[in-house]
Amino acid sequence: MDLYKIVVKYFAAEPGSVKPGEFIPVFHRWIQKHAVEGMLIDVADYGHLPGGPGVVLVAHEADYFVDTMEGPLGLLYNRKAPSQGRLSDRIASAFRAALGACVKLETEPEFQGRLKFRAGEALFLSNDRLNAPNTDEAFQALRSDLAAALAKVYPSNVEVRRVSDDPRARLTVQVNSREPVPDVTTLLARLG
Amino acid sequence: MTQTWKERLGDRIPADLAREIEIFENEIALRKQGKIDEKVFAETRLRRGAYGQRYDNGQRSDGLKTQALTYPSAELTKGPTTLWDAPGMQRIKIPYGGLNPAQLETLAELAEEYSDGILHVTTRQDIQLHYVHIEDTPSLFRRLAAVGVTTREACGNTVRNVTGCPIAGVCRTETFDVTAYARATSKFLLGHKDTQNFGRKFKIAFSGCAGEACGLALLHDVGAVAKVVDGRRGFEFYVGGGLGSVPSQAKLFNEFLPEEELLPMTQAICRVFARLGEKKNRNTARLKFLVNKLGLQEFRKLVLEERKLLTPEPAWTAYLKDLRVTDEKGLKPAQALNGQEKPEGFAEWARTNVYKQRQAGYAVATVSLPLGDFSSRQARLLADVARKHTEGTIRLTVEQNLIFRWVSEADLPALYSDLRAMGLGEPGAGSIVDIAACPGTDTCKLGISSSRGLAGELRTRLAARFHTMDEAVRGLHIKVSGCFNSCGQHHISDLGFYGVSRKKGAYAVPHFQVLVGGQWENNAGAYGLAVIAVPSKNIPEVVDRMTTAFLKERQKDESFKSWIQRIGKAKVRSMLEDLTTIPAHESDPSFYSDWRDPREYSNGDMGIGECAGEVVSPIDFGLAAAEREAFEAQLTLDAGDYRKAADQAVHSMATAAKELVLTKSPGTEKLPDVIREFRDKFVEPKLFWDPFAGGKFAQYFFHAVEHPIATPTADSVHRLVEEAQLFIEAAHSCRLKL
């Protein structure tokens, strides 16, 4: 499957403890310091829209959202540029980038320990209705690659479930670890 | 094998649009091979609505320094100083703002897959997506074409989106429904051979009546206001209007243009514009300049001559046989909103967001879109609402909102609940909290200050006390532009703001010019003028003071505009004067950042000075004097002394020019010397130069001193004062570069 527009989201453990606007200075600082991978361009603020994309760190290769559109507030990584390797590698790479951003955010001084991400739960989305629309057929077609990638993040056991069958929506898969996971730092370490 | 959108959509795309998209796809390939000149490619993509966006020159100030943005296709450009890989803005034409649910759903998909999940409604009923890669555009165009939407001629020197009153057909005061006429005009002129050789863009608007603002006909190149004479349908027909840096009220071309003459007369105007309109200097290339240059009488004569030469086209009148093609009706039977239980907040929402149609039992419901934005998810939910409560029709408005028409009144509580569930149930449509703003420094290359940041801040503050606000204040309009170009339509609001910058010591400080005296009603019946520049962070206080004073001082039912006229702009200025003070950087650095952007503000790539000395240089005093003179010219204009006001306006420009000249040629005092030195040392070396407007503002000065107005009129002096203000703003920008 020729899918590279991959989205991964991790939810904040306590979404009400932080506001999207608090991420604006953090993302601007990331641009100053080239703090995450990719060519970072700008910060877009959509905090005025309830249930919207929140605050976006726009980059050439991928965007980082503090998102409230795909469920409660969380870090959403949205790959835009083509990436190399097998699909399972591309998915693993997206998880790595998302988790890297989560780990970094948790340690930013602005949040003073208020921000933690739920490591045992994630969303995987295909942002490509041509190659992987929201159908059961597409879900089954990418399932083995998704499983291979998830095996690196959650080696013991994981449950995956297609979230909705609305054909207009993006193919969205809920990922739940079947056993407790301490934190996102642990997950990131597993991906190397 | 992987499919492409071209293969997937196949014959669902009309042949002409398919060919058009294929041509553009080929042009992309050729540009990548270097076989099309970048300037040609730029115009070609603009004509498809693919616009540049801020930082697309590969540079961005991060608040500490200017960073180079090193894109993979480093050397490749999609226009002069516009890098290939830099994200761009995609404008999508929505004629008269009319959409159906399938189109809205497609727009949502595109926002997710090619943009950042946001759909932005513009002040001309377009949809804009931001951060789009140029190589995604052919697929994006195909997916739009498959649902009957085109981006063709959404930008560039073309006929832009044809706008129309969003409540046409259901309005209680309209003469007749203009929708079918707007639709026919849009279709007729799209790609027409007579509209392909303009020197500048061309905008058309339709209004159903003269009294309401909905169509804004008077600020367009061509404005048509519905009229019936002796039982015949036609239009009060206007030409040469426009906002931009120097706004111009449209002139009455024809008191009654019969409906069958609408398309041929518009075509004739297009031909005269293409033939005689300015082509080299884009700053004087809009139709308004041609009408002013020729005079309305001569322009009309040329158009009528051109009209006689036209070869009749069937399309001129074919649509008249089926004017009901755009008619809508209710999905549900008309039913009054009677005793049923209402959800919490409904009454307040209905008070501002519901308009009773002239068809009893039906209503228009307005969805207030914060800053004109809605998310892809909300777009799908709005499509559901359209299907549930209407026959599947949606309109976008020039106030950057979305409306549902033909809603059975009895359905309004349920519709409100649906909107509230998706976070779009806020009241205040068309009120002081419903602030229009252009993209400004968020994404626009020309933005000087953060218009969306300011609008968002004002909206939040005003919404917090909306429920207790006096009705007179609730009804005011606020509009914000990021620069003088007026995409936020700052001239036609009670309180308008446009972005400028000032210098304080070694720092640039974001400011907004405050405009008063504009009018939204009567199809944008009056344009405001700037009275004072205030730091961005003090603008909320400007709004508080102005609205408080208005409430305290207004007489009976006096409007805001009338109140301003009565108290005079000098009093307005004195009321706000203390707000121009900028605290030292050390004591309050917040003044040196813009709203919702914590970066140290910079205009262009200017770095932060090492020494934040507080010594005020002579040029700062001089430019302040020039500003004061321009303001005095405005007061004199208001008093009706046009000759004196014209002289003051010209003098204010001369003062500003002299102050700049003195920095390079000390001792230059006499006007001829100032003009010469200004030309040689500032204009020729492009130091007095705007990245967008080029040398336009310098030309205002040269023209004013070389061709004084022989017979000053209210209009001509209003324009001159506006030019003087812009010239002085340009002098401030130039001063930042010194």
Answer yes or no: is A1 within a domain. no
Asked if the Cβ–Cβ distance from A51 to B423 is below 8 Å, we say: yes
- Cβ pair B482, B441 in contact under 8 A: yes
pLDDT tens-digit series, residues A86-132: 999 999 999 999 999 999 999 999 998 899 999 999 999 999 999 99
Do residues B73 and B612 lie in contact, with contact meaning Cβ atoms separated by under 8 Å? no
Q: For chain A, how many structural domains are there in total?
A: 1
The amino acid present at B523, given as its one-letter code, is N
DSSP state of A11: E
The string of pLDDT tens digits covering residues B200-225 is: 999 999 999 887 767 788 899 999 99
| Residue B370 to residue B460: CA distance in whole angstroms | 10
What length does chain B have? 738
How many C-beta neighbours within 10 Å does residue A85 have? 11
Task: With beta carbons under 8 A apart, name residues in chain A contacting B4.
Answer: 130
Question: In chain A, which residues have their Cβ closer than 8 Å to the Cβ of B10?
Answer: none
Q: Return the HEC string of B225-292.
A: EEEEECCEEEEEEEECCECCCCCECCEEEEEEEEHHHHHHHHHHHHHHHHHHCCCCCHHHCCHHHHHH
Give CA–CA dist B429/B399, Å, rounded. 9
- B60 with A60: Cβ contact below 8 A: no
Q: Each residue of B298-314: pLDDT tens digit? A: 999 999 999 999 999 99
Per-residue pLDDT tens for B652-688? 999 999 999 998 888 888 999 999 999 999 999 999 9
Task: Please count the residues of chain A.
Answer: 192
For residue A98, the model assigns a pLDDT of 98
Which residues of A are less than 8 Å from B71 in CB distance?
39, 60
Cross-chain Cβ contact A69/B375 below 8 Å: yes
> Are B665 and B675 in contact, with CB atoms under 8 Å apart?
no
Q: Is residue A86 part of a domain?
A: yes
Helix (H, G, I), strand (E, B) or coil at B593: coil
Nearest Cα to A43, choosing from A35, A52, B121, A54? A54
Is 60 exceeded by the pLDDT of residue B606? Answer: no
C-alpha of B707 from chain center: 31
Is the pLDDT reported for residue B608 higher than 50?
A: no
- Distance between A179 CA and the closest CA of chain B, angstroms: 32
Buried b (16+ CB within 10 A) or exposed e, B215-230: bbbbbbbbbbbbbeee
Residue B232 has pLDDT above 60, yes or no: yes
pLDDT of residue B630: 87
In this predicted structure, the answer to whether residue A186 has a pLDDT above a threshold of 70 is: yes
pLDDT, mean over chain B: 92
Both tokens assigned to B96: 């008269």
B377 contacts on A by Cβ (under 8 Å): 51-52, 69
> How high is the pLDDT of residue B616?
47
How many C-alpha atoms does B263 have within 13 Å on its Cβ side? 23
Query: Which helix (DSSP H) or strand (DSSP E) does residue B98 occupy?
Result: strand B98-99
Q: Say if strands B495-504 and B478-481 run parallel, antiparallel, or are unpaired.
A: parallel
- Give chain B positions within 8 Å (CB) of A32: 62-64, 67
Residues of B in contact with A53 (CB under 8 A): 116-118, 375
Question: Rounded CA gap, B94 and B166, in Å?
Answer: 12
Confidence of residue B615 (pLDDT cuts 50, 70, 90): very low
pLDDT for position B701: 94
Q: For residue range B122-142, list pLDDT tens digits in order.
A: 999 999 999 999 999 999 999
Contact, B526 vs B515, CB < 8 A? no
Tell which residue, B594, B576, B445, B602, has the closest CA to residue B515. B576
Residue B412 pLDDT more than 90?
Answer: yes
Tell whether A10 is covered by a domain. Answer: yes
Q: Report the C-alpha gap between B196 and B210 in whole angstroms.
A: 31
| Strand-pair category, A6-11 with A121-126 | antiparallel
Asked whether the predicted pLDDT for residue B387 surpasses 60, the reply is yes
Q: Is A161 part of any domain?
A: yes
* pLDDT number for residue B529: 85
Predicted confidence (pLDDT) at residue B627 exceeds the cutoff of 60: yes
Dihedral through CA B19, CA B22, CA B24, CA B30, nearest 10?
-130
Contact between B131 and A128 using a beta-carbon 8 Å cutoff: no
How many other C-beta atoms lie within 10 A of the C-beta of residue B302? 18
pLDDT score, position B614: 34
For residue B396, which of B122, B117, B160 has the smallest C-alpha distance? B122
Q: What are phi and psi of A33, to 5 degrees?
A: -100, 5
Chain A residue closest to B375 (CA)? A52
* pLDDT score recorded for residue B1: 52
Q: Does B625 have pLDDT greater than 70?
A: yes
Q: Which of B56, B61, B62 is nearest to B76 (CA)?
A: B56
Cα–Cα distance measured from residue B312 to residue B237, given in angstroms and rounded to the nearest whole number: 21
Q: What is the mean pLDDT of residues B77-95?
A: 95
User: Is the model more confident about B157 or about B736?
Assistant: B157
pLDDT score at B733: 87
B613 confidence band (pLDDT: 50, 70, 90): very low
Domain that holds residue A144: 6-191
What's the whole-model pTM score?
0.89
Q: Report helix angle B38-46 to B15-32, nearest 10.
A: 150
Residues 6+ apart with CB under 8 A from A183: A116, A117, A119
Helical pair B539-553 and B451-464, crossing angle rounded to 10 deg: 50
* Secondary structure element (H or E) that encloses residue B336, with its range: none
Of residues B521 and B285, which shows the higher confidence score?
B285
- The DSSP symbol for A18 reads S
Residue among B226, B224, B235, B241 at smallest CA distance from B296: B241
Is the pLDDT reported for residue B58 higher than 50?
yes
State the maximum Cα–Cα separation within chain B, in Å, rounded to a whole number.
80
Nearest to B537 by CA among B604, B457, B599: B457
Supply B603's token pair.
Answer: 């205009």
Q: Would you state the pLDDT for residue B210? A: 83
Confidence bin at B612 (pLDDT 50/70/90):
very low
- Count contacts between A and B (CB, < 8 Å): 111
**C-beta of residue B247 within 8 angstroms of C-beta of residue B726:** no
Q: Note the Cα B180 to chain centre separation in Å.
A: 24
pLDDT at residue A154, as a whole number? 94
Beta bridge partners of A6: A126
Q: What is the pLDDT of residue B605?
A: 33
Does position B180 have pLDDT exceeding 80, yes or no?
A: yes
Distance CA B582, CA B509 (A): 8
Handedness of CA B184, B187, B192, B195 (dihedral sign): positive
What is the per-residue pLDDT for B25? 93
Cα A185 versus chain centre, distance: 14
Name the pairing type of β-strands B232-239 and B251-258.
Answer: antiparallel
Please count the other Cβ atoms lying within 10 Å of the Cβ belonging to residue B59: 14
Contacts of A45 in chain B (CB under 8 A): 442, 453, 456, 596
Nearest one of B183, B122, B92, B93 to B402, comparing CA atoms = B122
**Local confidence band at B523 (pLDDT 50, 70, 90 cut-offs):** low
B225 forms beta bridges with B207, B236
What's the confidence (pLDDT) of residue A112? 83
Share of chain B above pLDDT 70, in %: 97
Q: Tell me the one-letter amino acid at B521.
A: E
Identity of the residue numbered B135 = E
Determine how β-strand B66-68 pairs with β-strand A121-126: unpaired
Out of B105, B118, B442, closest to residue A53 by CB: B118
How far apart CA B388 and CA B668 sit, in angstroms, is 72
Q: Is residue A114 part of a domain?
A: yes
pLDDT at res. B720? 93
Tell if the CB–CB gap between A58 and B105 is shorter than 8 Å: no
How far is the C-alpha of A127 from the C-alpha of B136, rounded, in Å?
14
Q: Which of A28, A58, A60 to mutate to test the interface with B (most CBs of B within 10 A)?
A: A60
Task: Look at residue B628 and tell me whether its pLDDT is greater than 80.
Answer: no
Q: Is residue A181 part of a domain?
A: yes
- Strand spans (E) along chain A: 6-11, 40-46, 54-59, 62-67, 74-79, 121-126, 158-162, 171-177
CB B495 within 8 A of CB B514: yes
Query: Poorest-confidence range of B192-201, B406-415, B450-459?
Result: B192-201
Q: Which one of A58, A127, A170 has the shortest CB-CB distance to B87? A: A58
Average pLDDT over residues A54-72: 97
Q: Write out pLDDT tens, residues B554-582.
A: 999 999 999 999 999 899 999 999 999 99
Residue B2 has its nearest CB partner, among A44, A48, A131, at: A131
Q: Residue A138 domain-assigned? A: yes
pLDDT at B265 over 80: yes
Q: Which residues contact B413 (CB under 8 A, 6 or more apart)?
A: B337, B340, B341, B342, B343, B346
ipTM of the complex: 0.97
Residue of A45, A51, A53 lying closest to B596 (CB–CB): A45
Residue A25 resides in a domain: yes
Find all residues with CB under 8 Å of A143, minimum gap 6, and list them.
A160
pLDDT: is A53 or B197 the higher one? A53
Give backbone dihedrals phi and psi of A81, rounded to 5 degrees, phi first: -85, 150
SS3 state of residue B448: coil
